[in-house]
Amino acid sequence: MKTIKTAVIGVGYLGRFHAQKYAALKNSELIAVVDSNEQAARNVAEECNTVAVSDYHEILDEVDAVSIVVPTQQHYEVAKTCLQRGIHVLLEKPITTTVEQADELIEIAADNSCVLQVGHLERFNSAVLALGDVLKSPQFIESHRLAPFNPRGADVNVVLDLMIHDIDIIQNLVRSPISHIDANGVSVLTAETDIANARIQFESGCVANVTASRVTMKPQRKMRIFQPDAYISIDFQDKILSVHRKGKKEMFPGIPEITSEESIFENSDAIMAEAEAFLTAIATDSPPPVTGEDGRQALETALKISDLLTNNSAL
């Protein structure tokens, strides 16, 4: 596979991991890491044996592909500049701050034959990947994504910070238009919503009850899916997939027994899998696992929920 010249724009907590993966992948040549914090850039550059740069414009003529891991408000500007130069982009979630910006990036990527992949990392969780043929026709989904406070994501509300992971997964699983959304939330530590719950109804009849909190002491990342033939439980954190089905025997007269299967997956490197998928999409000229359209869809729903939360708080 052809070597792809890569760079990472924004090497804070998450960007540093992107740099490490590109430095390790055989089909990647990490040209540079970029950050306005020059010391942070130098630290990561030294660790990954590459060059530190403070202005991403300096590398645009040298790279084939970039990961953009800057604050959300800068996603559109940086990604647009790169895509217009024909550079493939792996863009952290949420894709942009507005749907209109997302639409423009998708169009620019298509016009320039660029791969635009959005960093919905939970798609690469081994428990999610193992769903395979188990998932058939979800009727009810319940998810909880709870975490202690981390200032790293506090530039947006909890919906765009955490809930958007589950929104993306749920919409990818249900594959049906949304018919109605209800939402409630409260601010605890920041000026933005820190705890939120949304009830999403789909035209297929499926209903998803989605809760996210970034002010919880004990972290939890779980999803439960109910469909006619099974109850499926996904533990994203511990990478456990449990499937419970109706058995042939009776537990009580007229009530079938429940049979259960549990799969526990070894810890896998989701960021490495994400980076590999991005480079493979570039090398094979194929769509990435999480497209710009996927990122736009998740953003649109997250913004609708955010609007509902703002309107409710104003009542």
pLDDT tens, position by position, 35-88: 999 999 999 999 999 999 999 999 999 999 999 999 999 999 999 999 999 999
- Residue from 238, 184, 233 nearest 213 by CA: 184
What interhelical angle do 292-314 and 164-174 show, nearest 10? 120
Domain 4-121+270-291: give its CATH code.
Answer: 3.40.50.720
Per-residue pLDDT at 154 exceeds 50: yes
Q: Where are the domains of the chain?
A: 4-121+270-291, 123-266+301-314
What's the confidence (pLDDT) of residue 314? 42
Per-residue pLDDT at 151 exceeds 90: no
Q: CATH topology of 4-121+270-291 equal to that of 123-266+301-314?
A: no
Per-residue pLDDT at 18 exceeds 90: yes
Residue found by looking up tokens 């025997």 in the block: 249
Per-residue pLDDT at 313 exceeds 60: no
What's the confidence (pLDDT) of residue 191? 85
User: What's the rounded Cα separation, in Å, for the pair 124 and 121?
Assistant: 6
Per-residue pLDDT at 315 exceeds 60: no
Q: What is the mean pLDDT of residues 164-168?
A: 97
What's the confidence (pLDDT) of residue 1? 66
Q: What confidence tier does 268 reach under pLDDT thresholds 50, 70, 90?
A: confident
Q: Which two tokens stand for residue 243?
A: 């499937």
Domain 123-266+301-314: give its CATH code.
Answer: 3.30.360.10
Q: What confidence tier does 292 reach under pLDDT thresholds 50, 70, 90?
A: very high
What's the confidence (pLDDT) of residue 275? 98
pLDDT tens by residue, 101-127: 999 999 999 999 999 999 999 999 999
What's the confidence (pLDDT) of residue 256? 80
